[in-house]
């Protein structure tokens, strides 16, 4: 991967010239395929060398996007041994994501086998985490998602990945003796995700959530740091992120809760109208005893945007909760599915 060497049958400049012709929107699909066939011949055995230069990587991306399944097979076969390293490359990660987007299920299965055993290493890498998240969130089958998550449970359980689940509760039903070791692994990775600012991805949120769902109150309190608090507002809108934020409110100290509220300033309207974010506000109303801060940060912004907030169902739920906290007529469905909560004496009890 050191660049283009003198043994190339054609100069990179020639490849780029053909690519410039092939990428035009004014040519027919048949002409585009002719150029792609020409590029394939020029690149055979050399694709990996193209990947670490931004302009040449775009040639490969164009072939993936506009070529046939056979052309994609050619690219994947050439890049198979290098997919893990490409995912960690500033430019290579875009090509790997392009491969995922334009591949068949069989081709993605081939890529998955290349990734297997490397998901832990990739998820803590600033560039590669986007590739792992894309695969996990958009393309992985249920079994593949389980296999990805199980890598983070530790080596012992990974051996039994075919019998496991991506949800830790199900794993602990069959392997209760592994709880401490699994939580230790998840705590380690959660801390890295938080310290590196990688919490904006669904897969990292899922792993942090699995930890806070099963850790003790003391362990959750220990995880709550200034760095985590700063990042909470960026993912309150996701299902996983809202649950992490609620548990940070429930199990954090009074100082933690005050600092969390400060980060919500300017975001309250969006939280009210979001199907996940509004639940965080209900947690605030139920758990935060600093009414001055709640009024200053939350209620003032609700009043300023009341006409917009009441137009959404989640916004109306926020208003209804303020008027009649825990009113069964407003929250019965949420209670029935176990999403809602009561908060008492700094402990939350999930209603089943």
The yes-or-no verdict on residue 75 having pLDDT over 70 is: yes
Nearest to 197 by CA among 262, 148, 244, 129: 129
pLDDT digits (tens, 9 = 90+) for 94-134: 999 999 999 999 999 999 999 999 999 999 999 999 999 99
Percent of the chain clearing pLDDT 90 (strictly above): 69
pLDDT digits (tens, 9 = 90+) for 231-251: 999 999 999 999 999 999 999
pLDDT digits (tens, 9 = 90+) for 211-234: 999 999 999 999 999 999 999 999
Average pLDDT, the chain: 87
Query: What is the pLDDT at residue 343?
Result: 43
SS (HEC) of 32-63: HHHHHHHHHHHHCCCHHHHCCCHHHHHHHHHH
- Averaged pLDDT for residues 33-50: 89
Confidence class of residue 50 from pLDDT cuts 50, 70 and 90? confident
Query: What is the pLDDT at residue 301?
Result: 95
H or E element at residue 75: helix 69-79
* Pick from 56-60, 205-209, 254-258, 322-326: least confident: 322-326
Query: What is the pLDDT at residue 329?
Result: 58
Query: What is the pLDDT at residue 158?
Result: 63
Q: Which long-range contacts (CB under 8 A, 24 or more apart) does 31-39 make?
A: 32/66, 33/66, 33/67, 33/68, 36/62, 36/63, 36/66, 36/67, 36/71, 39/15, 39/63
pLDDT digits (tens, 9 = 90+) for 271-287: 999 999 999 999 999 88
pTM of the model: 0.86
pLDDT digits (tens, 9 = 90+) for 6-24: 454 546 788 889 999 999 9
Q: What is the DSSP string of 96-140?
A: HHHHHHT--HHHHHHHHHHHTT-HHHHHTSTTTHHHHHHIIIII-
SS3 for 343?
A: strand
Query: What is the pLDDT at residue 162?
Result: 59
CA distances from 31 to 66, 73, 108, 154, 243 (A): 11, 20, 28, 51, 52
Say how far apart CA 165 and CA 174 lie, in whole Å.
10
pLDDT digits (tens, 9 = 90+) for 147-172: 999 999 887 766 666 556 667 888 88
Query: What is the pLDDT at residue 51?
Result: 79
**Contact yes or no for 315/274 (Cβ under 8 A):** no
């Amino acid at each position: 991967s050191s660049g283009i060497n003198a043994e190339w049958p054609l100069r990179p400049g020639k490849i780029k010239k053909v690519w410039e012709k092939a990428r035009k929107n004014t040519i027919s699909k048949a002409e585009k395929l002719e150029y792609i066939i020409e590029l394939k011949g020029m690149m055979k055995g050399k694709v990996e060398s193209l990947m670490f230069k931004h302009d040449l990587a775009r040639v490969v991306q164009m072939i993936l996007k506009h070529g046939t399944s056979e052309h994609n097979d050619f690219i994947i076969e050439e890049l198979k041994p290098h997919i893990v390293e490409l995912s960690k490359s500033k430019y290579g990660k875009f090509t790997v994501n392009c491969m995922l987007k334009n591949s068949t299920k069989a081709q993605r299965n081939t890529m998955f086998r290349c990734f297997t055993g490397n998901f832990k290493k990739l998820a803590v890498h600033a560039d590669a985490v986007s590739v792992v998240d894309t695969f996990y969130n958009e393309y992985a089958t249920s079994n593949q998602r389980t296999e990805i998550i199980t890598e983070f449970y530790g080596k012992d359980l990974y051996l039994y990945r075919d019998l496991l689940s991506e949800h830790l509760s199900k794993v602990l039903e069959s392997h209760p003796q592994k709880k401490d070791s699994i939580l230790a692994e998840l705590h380690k990775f959660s801390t890295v995700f938080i310290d590196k600012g990688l919490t904006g991805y669904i897969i990292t949120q899922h792993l942090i959530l699995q930890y806070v769902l099963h850790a003790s109150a003391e362990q959750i309190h220990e995880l709550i740091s200034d760095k985590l608090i700063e990042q909470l507002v960026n993912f309150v809108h996701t299902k996983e992120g809202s649950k992490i934020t609620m548990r940070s409110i429930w199990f954090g100290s009074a100082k933690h809760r005050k600092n969390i509220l400060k980060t919500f300033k300017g975001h309250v309207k969006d939280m009210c109208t979001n199907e996940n974010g509004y639940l965080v506000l209900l947690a605030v109303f139920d758990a935060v005893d600093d009414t001055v801060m709640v009024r200053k940060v939350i209620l003032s912004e609700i009043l300023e945007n009341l006409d917009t907030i009441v137009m959404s169902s989640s916004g109306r739920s926020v208003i209804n909760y303020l008027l009649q906290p825990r009113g069964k007529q407003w929250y019965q469905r949420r209670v029935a599915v176990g999403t809602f909560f009561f908060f008492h004496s700094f402990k939350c009890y999930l209603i089943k």
